[in-house]
Amino acid sequence: MQTNTDSGQPVIEISQVTTSFGDHIVHAGLDLDVRRAEIFALIGGSGSGKSTLLREMILLHRPDSGSIRVLGTDLHGIGDDETLALRRRYGVMFQQGGLFGSLTVAENVGLPLREHTDLPDTLIDEIAALKIAMTGLAPEAGLQYPSELSGGMMKRASLARALALDPELLFLDEPTAGLDPESAAGVDVLVRKLRDMFGLTIVMITHDLDLLWQVADRVAVLAEGKVQGIGSMVELEHMDNPAIRQFFDGPRGRAAHEQAQAEAKKTSVETGRPSSKPK
Ligand SMILES: Nc1ncnc2c1ncn2[C@@H]1O[C@H](COP(=O)(O)OP(=O)(O)OP(=O)(O)O)[C@@H](O)[C@H]1O
């Protein structure tokens, strides 16, 4: 668990954002801050506007009004050069992986380096191999095509590509969706390692309660166009708000919490120290 997030500076500052599609208001004056080096999760029911907000943070969609600052840059009216410079500073792992099917994993991972740098091919290949190894894939996976990968391998390959340019900020869209429990647990460990070892700020959208209990420092619950509550899972669990309660009161919510408590107990027995999880 990150212990210094309270003093962390915001790397994303969202203020009074409104977004609508026709008559449909998705964000109605939404405020949110993400602090440096925290693992931050966005949760909310289907259609609550999580993906749209993520798309706004990565410059794929513009809100109708309000302000979004990412890594100190105001996204409103941002020019092409600034956009390019900002895009180099964050990585995105899309839900479906977003890998090019006609390229090998290594070629996919090397692609951002070819697009954004003048590095020689040999160095790009070396960096791609390093990123592939960082995500726990075997070196041979670099030679495979996306269609030859399992779901877990696909997520890791996509993550390796998101890490290609050594981002300060990483966006993960449903990083464990569609994975078996073992692969999903591997992603939990990987996400925490990336933050702990490289100080990355991680913003993720997830419905995975295990992932939320195991790795998220703070979680924001979206509903009715606004953030209904924000805090650690323990803090949220004690908030009296119907949009928040539904995440904890269902059978999946209870099972994930029980598992998190069991894991925390196991860690404290193994290390002889009290565990910081669940928070
Ligand atoms: N390009 C678009 N055109 C019209 N409506 C859109 C568009 N993108 C999103 N919406 C609508 O905006 C609302 C929010 O969508 P969004 O994908 O952000 O929700 P979400 O919280 O990510 O949902 P889910 O968990 O199901 O992925 C939905 O009602 C969706 O239909």
What is the tens place of the pLDDT at every residue in 7-18? 457 999 999 999
Give the tokens for residue 181.
Answer: 């429990």
Give the tokens for residue 8.
Answer: 């962390």
Helix (H) or strand (E) holding 130: helix 121-134
Q: What is the rounded CA–CA span in Å between residue 233 and residue 249?
A: 13
Residue to substitute in 26, 57, 208 for testing ligand 1 pocket (most ligand atoms within 8 angstroms of CB): 26
Dihedrals φ, ψ of 208, to 5°?
Answer: -85, 105
Residue 5: predicted pLDDT:
43
Q: What is the rounded CA–CA span in Å between residue 52 and residue 135?
A: 27
Residue 187: predicted pLDDT:
86
Nearest C-alpha to atom 31 of ligand 1 is from which residue?
A: 47
Residue 238 CA to ligand 1 center (angstroms) comes to 28
Q: What is the rounded CA–CA span in Å between residue 3 and residue 209?
A: 21
The residue whose two tokens read 């953030």 is 227
**Confidence grade of residue 209 (pLDDT, cut at 50, 70, 90):** confident
Q: Do residues 37 and 60 touch, judged by C-beta distance below 8 A?
A: no
pLDDT in tens, 103-162: 999 999 999 999 989 999 999 999 999 999 999 899 999 999 999 998 889 989 999 999
**Confidence grade of residue 258 (pLDDT, cut at 50, 70, 90):** low
Going by C-alpha positions, the residue among 138, 83, 81 that lies closest to residue 106 is: 138
The answer on pLDDT for 275 being more than 90 is no
Going by C-alpha positions, the residue among 232, 237, 242, 185 that lies closest to residue 208 is: 185
ipTM exceeding 0.90, yes/no: yes
Atom index in ligand 1 nearest the CA of residue 52 equals 18
What is the number of residues in the chain? Answer: 279
Task: Give the pLDDT mean for 261-267.
Answer: 61
Q: Do residues 204 and 124 touch, judged by C-beta distance below 8 A?
A: no
% pLDDT > 70, the chain = 86
- Across 22-123, the runs of DSSP E, i.e. the strands, are 24-35, 39-44, 65-70, 73-74, 90-93
Q: Do residues 106 and 92 touch, judged by C-beta distance below 8 A?
A: no
Give the tokens for residue 139.
Answer: 């070196």
Dihedral, CA atoms, 126, 131, 133, 139, nearest 10 degrees? -50
pLDDT in tens, 223-244: 999 999 999 999 999 898 888 8
Q: Do residues 39 and 279 touch, judged by C-beta distance below 8 A?
A: no
Q: What is the rounded CA–CA span in Å between residue 195 and residue 181?
A: 22
Residue 174 CA to ligand 1 center (angstroms) comes to 15
Cβ neighbors of 3 (< 8 A, separation 6 or more) are: 276
Dihedrals φ, ψ of 249, to 5°?
Answer: -90, -20
Pocket of ligand 1 (CB under 6 A): 21, 24, 26, 44, 46-52
Residue 177 CA to ligand 1 center (angstroms) comes to 18
